Every structure is written in structure tokens, then in C-alpha cells.
């Protein structure tokens, strides 16, 4: 089984420096790309069926295709790498940032070339201190060796790259909020349209791509779209970083073919539940995805299959709920997070989420009322897509609406028994 | 007034952006690094240097989790309270840390040594529960490990050469 993204990564060891990265075949994809036209690079990525790995799964080449090209296009154009990994339960981009920074840098340069960007920013979350040091070192190394700066590798193409270390807020992961943060403002989302591809950073054409998405690009250029598609077990090309956390025997992260089943990830790689714990359900791709349960274990973890089960692939990092953990308590933890991280821009979000948190808190402390279930359900509808500027509130509604469906008996027990059945007292 | 060092560091970052305003978050971080936190004076100094209104800069400063607008202790403990750490029993660690330090989340010890803050997911969920102390990450935590870590910071302050804590 091929694992292009993690091929150079060995946990606990220093990442490859530039010479080692080149020796392992690094920057060959960039050399190839520079011999092609930007349109040809975009076509190669389109052919590969690469879909964005930040959570939404938008086809990468299609995103790029909206950027104005040619001599009349507004300048400068920007390429932003979204490395603001803050989705609870998600720890995949950190491995790529720490483990093989040159792979990411090469992916950024090729992608920037494809849209003819002049400046690239890596928007990194503040907590990733080791990643910041390694990225900074690798960017400087790439500059010294002519991979960045003026006339890259003797071509007519030039690109500046800067690392921006955020001051921390979940909202910054949202693409338009991230642009506001880069401009030195509060990270509130922007109305779309205009889309960032046309009017993004400082009003100029801008592409925002996730770390894992960008790390795939050198391999697509180097080994071709057909090879990339052959790595996958589904229609989406490539491999995927899948993670598991919670009460499993071997929590961790693995690069596997896109479309690997939940069961295979959970049982073969995470080696099943810890002794004495039973599986009840899981959030398949971070905090803002719908629960799936035992009946869904044979689903393929790809964008379309997970959608058919009314959930989402999201970030592909699963959070497992066991029988000794209270589902209402878990939802309280999740909704507290979303309420706290809401930027306060849209009323349904800041008001609705703190209301939801209060209802769940009451239920956990024995003050639940029979009418609460209906109230929570109405909130999931009011927070659904279309009522807010960004996806934070709809994302917060996903675990709640599916939790109400799959763990209804547990909610009712809280109300009838006037206490949390899992609490010790 | 900004110190020479602060000014130089801010200017180096300002070159990465097409205008002065964009560097304001970095500038706040630089001031915090040198002064421990961002006081009203810190806001005024940065605002003046970047030709921003203090109130405008304040609205940015208070938005971001890691800009401290209140004084913090010498070491800031950030305990992850997000979902994977919650499942793995972070609440027990919060109680333990609170008992050992004699403070609740959001407070600073009387000797000014430690501030305890809850924090969102630190991105090491396969090694939950986790926390950070200043720039260091600590994983797979349990109460005995917490005691070791706290002792190492107390020890570090006593020893003149200030050995760094382990990871």
C-alpha cells in the first residue's frame, strides 16, 4: 500500500531537511510543474479528483478555476495555506507540518503557480510551536536554494512565502474569517459572494487550501492523475489521513486509501475498544459532524458515502463514544465549545448556542424538562445552513441533531430520573 | 513607548504585509512576549506605532484567545477541555491541578508562579488528556505525571541554570 503523504515521516524523528527531501524525490513535482502552463497544472489536479481535505470536500481544481487569470487579472494574487487546525478531535495537519514541512512548501509553490499567485501565507495556529519552528526553518532553506523568491529555479515565476502564527480562535479556520485575521482584524466571517477566489485578501484574488490538500499536490504532479486515483477505493482520488481518539486500544493516525471503511479503521488500526468499554457511536470527522452508530460501521469513509448516512467525512478524525461516557455530557462539552468559540457576528449562533449549552447543562444537573427535547430539536433547525454567515452554527447542530436521534433514550432518562445516570452521586 | 527591541521585531514582521494594520496581531504577541501580558499601556503603545485607534486595537486584542489582557503568572498552564480530552477524563486532572495549585481555572497562584486556563483542543487527541505549559506540550497525562511536571517547573526556578522541562 502506498503512503505518499507520510512516506518521509517517522514520528519522534527530525523531519527531512532540504537535501534529504530532494533525495527522496522531493521538488521533482515542482520542476515538472514549472515546465507546464498554469492551465496544464490545474488540468492535472482536476483529472486527479482531489477534493479539499479541510472538511468540506470541495474539488480543489474547481476552486482554483474561479481565480481570474491572464494579464488583466488583479495583482497581487494570494495563496493561503490553512494550517489553523482547531477542530476538536482533529490532529492530522500537525503531523504533516511537523513531519515533512518541505512537502507542504512544495505543494504551496505548485498550487500558487497554478493560479499565478504572487504571495503565499501559511496561517498556523499558535499552539503548534514545533510546527512553527520547523516551517520557519524550511521556508528559509527553500529561499536559500532558489525554490522561493525571484525566478524560481530559473523560471519566470516568482513567489514570496510568509508564516503567520495566529493568536488563537477556532473561527480563524473558516476561510473568510481567516482572511480577516490575516488583515489584522477580528476573525468574523465575510458574506459570500464575492468569493475569495475573486475578492479575498485585501480585495485581491485569493485561494485558501488546507494543509493535507496541499501536501497531495506534489505527488499528483510527480506521479500523475491516474496513479493518484488508483490509490483510492472511491471516486475521490488519493489517500486520506484517518485518526481515532477516545477509549480505543490504539488511538492514532494512519494514511489509508480514501474510502477505507469505518470498521477497518476502528478495528484493525485502532484495534477496537479498550477492555471493559462498549462502542456506542462516533463522530466521523471532528466535532462538527453527525454521529454514526454500529449500523454504519461498514460505510466507506469518503465524502459521498458519509453524506448518504446523513453525516460527513469532515476531517476524517473520529471521536469514539463508549458506554461509560454520557452522550448528553459529551454533547454539553461540544456545545460549550461552539458557544464559546462563536464569534458573535450572527444572532442564531451566539444566542442559540449558549441557550443549547444551558439546556444541556440543566439536563446534566437534574433540571431537564420534558419540553427540552423539542426545544433542542427546534434549535438544530434554526441553526441549520442558511441562517448564519458561516458554517460554525450548522456544524454545531450536526452532533446535536444526530445525538437526539440515536441517544434519545439517554436524554429521556436524564429528564425522568432528574439526574445524569452516568454521574457517580 | 515600545522598546527598541519590540519596535525592531514588529518592523521585521510588518514587511510581510502590504499595510501596517495587518501586523497588529503579531505586534500584540510581541509586546506580550516581552511584558508577559498586554496592559492598557501595551495597547496604547502598539496603537500609536501602527497609527490605529486604541479602541480598534482593543477590539482585536480581546477577540483572540492567546492575547492576555489581564496579568498572568510566570507560567501559563493550558489544560485542554475539548471533547477527546473530556472523554479521557480531563475533569479529574482539572480538579487535581486546582487542588495542587490552590486555584480554579482562570486564576493565578498567590506567588504569581502559575496561571491555570482552560483551552480548546490542542491537536494531540490520540494522546489525551493533554496540556501545555508555556510553549511545551505534555501528553497522556494522569495525576502523578501532573505532579512531576509541576515539580519540574518549581525546581527549574530554584536552580540558577534553569534547566528546561522535559517534553
Per residue in B77-123, pLDDT (tens digit) is: 999 999 999 999 999 999 999 999 999 999 999 999 999 999 999 99
DSSP B94-152: HHHHHHHHT--TT-B-TTS-EEEEEES--S-GGG-S-EEETTEEE-S--HHHHHHHHHH
Residue A200: list chain B partners with CB under 8 A. none
Task: Tell me what the pLDDT averaged over chain A comes to.
Answer: 97
CATH level 2 (architecture), domain B75-158: 3-Layer(aba) Sandwich (3.40)
The position carrying cell 454521529 is A291
Residue B65: list chain A partners with CB under 8 A. 167-169
In chain A, the residue whose alpha carbon lies closest to the alpha carbon of B12 is: A162
Does residue B160 have a pLDDT over 50?
no
Does residue A191 have a pLDDT over 60?
yes
Half-sphere exposure of B139 (CA within 13 A, CB side): 12
Per residue in A57-101, pLDDT (tens digit) is: 999 999 999 999 999 999 999 999 999 999 999 999 999 999 999
In chain B, the residue whose alpha carbon lies closest to the alpha carbon of A317 is: B125
Does residue B166 have a pLDDT over 60?
no
Half-sphere exposure of A319 (CA within 13 A, CB side): 34
Residue B25: list chain A partners with CB under 8 A. 166-167, 181, 184
- Whether residue A88 and residue B26 make contact (CB cut-off 8 A), yes or no, is no
pLDDT computed for residue B45 by the predictor? 98
The rounded distance, in Å, linking the Cα atoms of B74 and A241 is: 38
The rounded distance, in Å, linking the Cα atoms of A2 and A59 is: 22
The pLDDT-based confidence of B158 (bands split at 50, 70, 90) is confident
In chain B, the residue whose alpha carbon lies closest to the alpha carbon of A324 is: B87
Nine-digit cell string for A335? 456545545
The rounded distance, in Å, linking the Cα atoms of A62 and B59 is: 36
Nearest to A173 by CA among A102, A82, A246, A239: A82
List residues of B whose CB lies inside 8 A of any A CB. 16-19, 21-26, 28-29, 59-60, 63-67, 78, 81-84, 86-88, 119-128, 132, 135, 137
Q: Are B88 and B79 in contact (CB under 8 A)?
A: no
As a dihedral over the C-alpha atoms of residue A403, residue A405, residue A410, residue A414, rounded to 10 degrees, the angle is 80
Q: Are A293 and A406 in contact (CB under 8 A)?
A: yes
Q: Which of B59, B86, B125 sits opposite A91 (nearest CB)?
A: B125
Q: What mean pLDDT comes out for the span A10-35?
A: 96
H or E stretch covering A262: helix A262-263
Per residue in B17-71, pLDDT (tens digit) is: 999 999 999 999 999 999 999 999 999 999 999 999 999 999 999 999 999 999 9
Nearest to A27 by CA among A259, A222, A195: A222
- Whether residue B135 and residue A341 make contact (CB cut-off 8 A), yes or no, is no
Q: What mean pLDDT comes out for the span A184-189?
A: 97
Alpha-carbon distances, residue A194 vs A197, A199, A399 (angstroms): 8, 6, 30
Does residue A255 have a pLDDT over 50?
yes
In chain B, the residue whose alpha carbon lies closest to the alpha carbon of A121 is: B16
Q: Which residues contact A127 (CB under 8 A, 6 or more apart)?
A: A168, B78, B119, B122, B123, B132, B137
- Whether residue A184 and residue B121 make contact (CB cut-off 8 A), yes or no, is no
Count Cβ atoms below 10 Å from residue B15 Cβ, excluding itself: 9
Per residue in A275-321, pLDDT (tens digit) is: 999 999 999 999 999 999 999 999 999 999 999 999 999 999 999 99
Per residue in A332-364, pLDDT (tens digit) is: 999 999 999 999 999 999 999 999 999 999 999
The rounded distance, in Å, linking the Cα atoms of A268 and A265 is: 6
pTM of the model: 0.96
The position carrying cell 516551517 is A135
Does residue B136 have a pLDDT over 50?
yes
Q: Which of A89, A165, A168 sits opposite B84 (nearest CB)?
A: A89
- Whether residue A337 and residue B124 make contact (CB cut-off 8 A), yes or no, is no
The rounded distance, in Å, linking the Cα atoms of B46 and A97 is: 31
Q: How much of chain A, in percent, has pLDDT values that exceed 70?
A: 100
pLDDT computed for residue B162 by the predictor? 43
The rounded distance, in Å, linking the Cα atoms of A98 and A15 is: 7
In chain A, the residue whose alpha carbon lies closest to the alpha carbon of B23 is: A184
Count Cβ atoms below 10 Å from residue A374 Cβ, excluding itself: 10
- Whether residue B23 and residue A184 make contact (CB cut-off 8 A), yes or no, is yes
- Whether residue A167 and residue B87 make contact (CB cut-off 8 A), yes or no, is no
Nearest to A38 by CA among A72, A64, A77: A64
CATH 1.10.10 spans which residues of chain B? 4-61
* Contact pairs from chain A to chain B, CB under 8 Å: 128
**To the nearest whole angstrom, how far is the Cα of A124 from the nearest Cα of chain B?**
12
Residues in chain A: 425
**To the nearest whole angstrom, how far is the Cα of A168 from the nearest Cα of chain B?**
5
pLDDT computed for residue A424 by the predictor? 72
Q: What domains sit in chain A, N to C, each tagged with a CATH number?
A: 18-230 (3.40.50.11540), 239-322 (3.10.20.600), 327-417 (1.20.1440.230)
The position carrying cell 459521498 is A304
Chain B contact probe: residue of A11, A96, A167 with most B CBs at under 10 A? A167
**To the nearest whole angstrom, how far is the Cα of A205 from the nearest Cα of chain B?**
15
Beta bridge partners of A257: A239
Helix (H, G, I), strand (E, B) or coil at B116: strand
- Whether residue A319 and residue B84 make contact (CB cut-off 8 A), yes or no, is yes
Instruction: Give me the helix-helix angle, A38-47 and A211-223, nearest 10°.
Output: 100
Residue B123: list chain A partners with CB under 8 A. 85-86, 90-91, 93-94, 125, 127-128
φ/ψ of residue A258, rounded to 5:
-55, 135
- Whether residue A167 and residue B124 make contact (CB cut-off 8 A), yes or no, is no
Quote the longest CA-to-CA distance of chain A. 73
* Burial zone of A421 (CB within 10 Å; 0-12 exposed, 13-18 middle, 19+ buried): exposed
Q: What number is the ipTM of this complex?
A: 0.95
pLDDT computed for residue A425 by the predictor? 53
Residue A187: list chain B partners with CB under 8 A. 63-64
CATH 3.40.30.10 spans which residues of chain B? 75-158
- Whether residue A94 and residue B60 make contact (CB cut-off 8 A), yes or no, is no
pLDDT computed for residue B161 by the predictor? 45
Nine-digit cell string for B71? 496579568
Residue A186: list chain B partners with CB under 8 A. 59-60, 63
**To the nearest whole angstrom, how far is the Cα of B9 from the nearest Cα of chain A?**
14
Q: What mean pLDDT comes out for the span A186-215?
A: 97
H or E stretch covering A165: strand A160-165
pLDDT computed for residue A359 by the predictor? 98
- Whether residue B120 and residue A337 make contact (CB cut-off 8 A), yes or no, is yes
**To the nearest whole angstrom, how far is the Cα of A40 from the nearest Cα of chain B?**
30
Q: Residue positions of B in the annotated binding site for [2Fe-2S] cluster? A: 80, 85, 121, 125
pLDDT computed for residue B163 by the predictor? 44
pLDDT computed for residue B123 by the predictor? 94
Taking domain B4-61, whether its CATH number is 3.90.550 is answered by no
Instruction: Give me the helix-helix angle, A372-382 and A392-406, nearest 10°.
Output: 140
- Whether residue A287 and residue B83 make contact (CB cut-off 8 A), yes or no, is yes
Residue A90: list chain B partners with CB under 8 A. 121, 123, 125
Half-sphere exposure of A308 (CA within 13 A, CB side): 8
Q: What mean pLDDT comes out for the span A25-52?
A: 98
Nearest to A99 by CA among A28, A3, A220: A3
Amino acid at each position: 500500500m502506498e503512503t505518499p503523504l507520510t512516506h518521509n515521516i517517522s514520528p519522534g524523528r527530525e523531519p527531512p531537511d532540504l537535501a534529504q527531501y530532494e533525495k527522496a524525490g522531493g521538488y521533482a513535482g515542482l520542476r515538472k510543474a514549472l515546465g507546464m502552463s498554469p492551465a496544464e497544472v490545474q488540468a492535472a489536479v482536476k483529472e486527479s479528483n482531489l477534493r479539499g481535505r479541510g472538511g468540506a470536500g470541495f474539488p480543489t481544481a474547481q476552486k482554483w478555476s474561479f481565480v481570474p487569470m491572464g494579464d488583466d487579472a488583479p495583482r497581487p494574487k494570494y495563496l493561503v495555506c490553512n494550517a489553523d487546525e482547531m477542530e476538536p478531535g482533529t490532529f492530522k495537519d500537525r503531523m504533516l507540518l511537523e513531519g515533512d514541512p518541505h512537502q507542504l512548501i512544495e505543494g504551496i509553490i505548485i498550487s500558487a503557480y497554478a493560479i499565478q499567485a504572487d504571495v503565499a501565507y501559511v496561517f498556523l495556529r499558535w499552539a503548534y510551536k514545533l510546527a512553527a519552528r520547523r516551517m520557519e526553518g524550511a521556508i528559509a532553506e527553500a529561499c536559500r536554494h532558489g525554490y522561493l523568491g525571484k525566478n524560481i529555479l530559473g523560471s519566470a515565476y516568482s513567489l514570496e512565502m510568509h508564516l503567520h502564527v495566529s493568536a488563537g480562535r477556532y473561527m480563524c479556520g473558516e476561510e473568510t474569517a481567516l482572511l480577516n485575521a490575516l488583515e489584522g482584524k477580528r476573525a468574523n466571517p465575510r458574506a459570500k459572494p464575492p468569493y475569495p477566489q475573486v475578492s479575498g485578501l485585501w480585495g485581491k484574488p485569493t485561494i485558501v487550501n488546507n494543509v493535507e490538500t496541499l501536501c497531495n499536490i506534489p505527488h499528483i504532479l510527480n506521479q500523475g492523475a491516474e496513479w493518484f486515483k488508483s490509490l483510492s477505493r472511491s471516486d475521490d482520488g488519493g489517500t486520506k489521513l484517518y485518526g481515532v481518539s477516545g477509549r480505543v486500544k490504539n488511538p492514532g493516525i494512519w494514511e489509508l486509501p480514501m474510502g477505507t471503511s469505518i470498521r477497518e479503521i476502528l478495528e484493525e488500526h485502532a484495534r477496537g475498544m479498550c477492555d471493559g468499554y462498549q462502542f456506542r457511536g462516533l463522530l466521523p470527522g471532528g466535532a462538527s459532524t453527525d454521529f454514526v452508530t454500529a449500523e454504519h460501521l461498514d460505510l466507506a469513509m469518503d465524502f459521498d458515502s458519509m453524506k448518504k448516512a446523513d453525516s460527513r467525512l469532515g476531517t476524517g478524525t473520529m471521536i469514539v463514544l463508549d458506554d461509560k461516557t454520557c452522550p448528553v455530557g459529551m454533547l454539553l462539552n461540544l456545545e460549550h465549545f461552539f458557544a464559546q468559540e462563536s464569534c458573535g457576528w450572527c444572532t442564531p449562533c451566539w444566542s442559540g448556542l449558549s441557550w443549547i449549552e444551558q439546556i444541556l447543562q440543566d439536563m446534566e444537573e437534574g433540571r431537564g424538562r420534558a419540553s427540552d427535547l423539542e426545544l433542542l430539536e427546534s434549535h438544530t433547525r434554526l441553526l441549520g445552513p442558511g441562517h448564519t454567515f458561516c458554517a460554525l452554527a450548522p456544524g454545531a447542530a450536526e452532533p446535536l441533531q444526530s445525538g437526539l436521534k440515536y441517544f434519545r433514550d439517554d436524554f429521556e432518562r436524564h429528564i425522568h430520573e432528574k439526574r445524569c445516570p452516568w454521574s457517580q452521586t | 513607548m515600545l522598546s527598541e527591541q519590540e519596535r525592531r521585531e514588529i518592523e521585521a514582521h510588518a514587511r510581510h504585509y502590504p499595510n501596517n494594520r495587518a501586523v497588529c496581531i503579531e505586534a500584540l504577541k510581541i509586546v506580550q512576549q516581552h511584558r508577559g501580558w498586554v496592559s492598557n499601556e501595551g495597547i496604547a503603545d502598539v496603537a500609536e506605532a501602527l497609527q490605529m485607534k486604541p479602541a480598534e486595537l482593543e477590539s482585536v486584542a480581546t477577540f483572540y484567545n492567546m492575547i492576555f489582557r489581564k496579568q498572568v503568572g510566570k507560567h501559563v498552564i493550558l489544560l485542554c477541555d475539548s471533547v477527546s480530552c473530556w472523554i479521557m477524563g480531563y475533569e479529574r486532572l482539572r480538579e487535581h491541578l486546582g487542588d495542587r495549585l490552590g486555584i480554579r481555572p482562570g486564576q493565578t497562584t498567590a506567588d504569581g508562579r502559575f496561571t491555570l486556563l482552560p483551552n480548546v483542543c490542542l491537536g494531540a487527541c490520540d494522546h489525551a488528556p493533554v496540556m501545555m505549559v508555556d510553549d511545551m506540550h505534555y501528553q497522556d497525562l494522569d495525576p502523578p505525571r501532573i505532579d512531576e511536571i509541576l515539580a519540574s517547573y518549581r525546581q527549574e526556578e530554584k536552580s540558577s541554570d534553569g534547566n528546561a522541562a522535559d517534553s
